[in-house]
Amino acid sequence: MIRVLVVDDDFMVARIHRGFVERVDGFEVVGTAQTGDEALALVGSLQPDLVLLDLYLPDAFGLDVVTRLRAAGQTCDVLVITAAKEADAVRGAVRQGVVGYLLKPFTFADLEQRLRTYAVERARDLGDELTQEQIDAAFGAPPVGRIAVALLPKGLSTETAEVVEAALRGASDTLSATECAEAVGISRVSARRYLEHFVASGRADVTLRYGSTGRPERRYRSR
């Protein structure tokens, strides 16, 4: 289970976020905090894997809390959930290495996609010793939430593209469109559109698997 701490100054909002998280398989909320100081104390005592962090806290700006977490040696991941749309806040979050930035208000599906993407990324096993190709792939993989909208064809969403690509990178073998659709929770036709886009943009390779009858099956692998 991925252990989550929810941090929001509004206890009703925190309760809603907690309910959202607990609806996603593989995640559990281990605590909630309403201030920066409380968040720091709970991270120290509960050792969560992921912190859902509001930026507007009564005693501190959320990114300052991240700085204090790192100074204290805490390595938990942080997903920012905020109404802050300012470019400086977004740039600061990127510099702090947060795993995502979700604007309020949002739906359960919005948060679920990001949590599932995070779970896939977290599950990637890089091993103890890497080849140069694996190192290049690790540094070249886009952070969660960073696929540019401009690179997607009309009709494809950034959020779904992130989840599809994460499923592709997390697969131990090649994936078919049907397998990807089942893993992500979208239609096979939609999954194939995203997969073919990744092939066209150089983010994935495709091979053909021939059976005894019918058309060959297209199999996809992250590049």
pLDDT tens for residues 15-49? Answer: 999 999 999 999 999 999 999 999 999 999 999 99
Rounded (5°) CA angle 210-211-217: 55
Q: Which two tokens stand for residue 94?
A: 């990127």
Please, is 219 exposed, middle or buried when counting C-beta atoms within 10 Å of its C-beta (0-12, 13-18, 19+)? middle
Most confident of 130-134, 183-187, 198-202: 183-187
Identify the helix (H) or strand (E) that includes residue 11.
helix 11-22
d(CA 205, CA 174): 9
**Residue 144's pLDDT is what?**
45
SS3 7: strand
SS3 16: helix
**Entry pTM:** 0.61
- In angstroms, the Cα distances linking 4 to 17, 33, 175 are 11, 11, 30
Q: CB neighbours of 85 closer than 8 A, spacing ≥ 6?
A: 103
pLDDT at 150 over 60: no
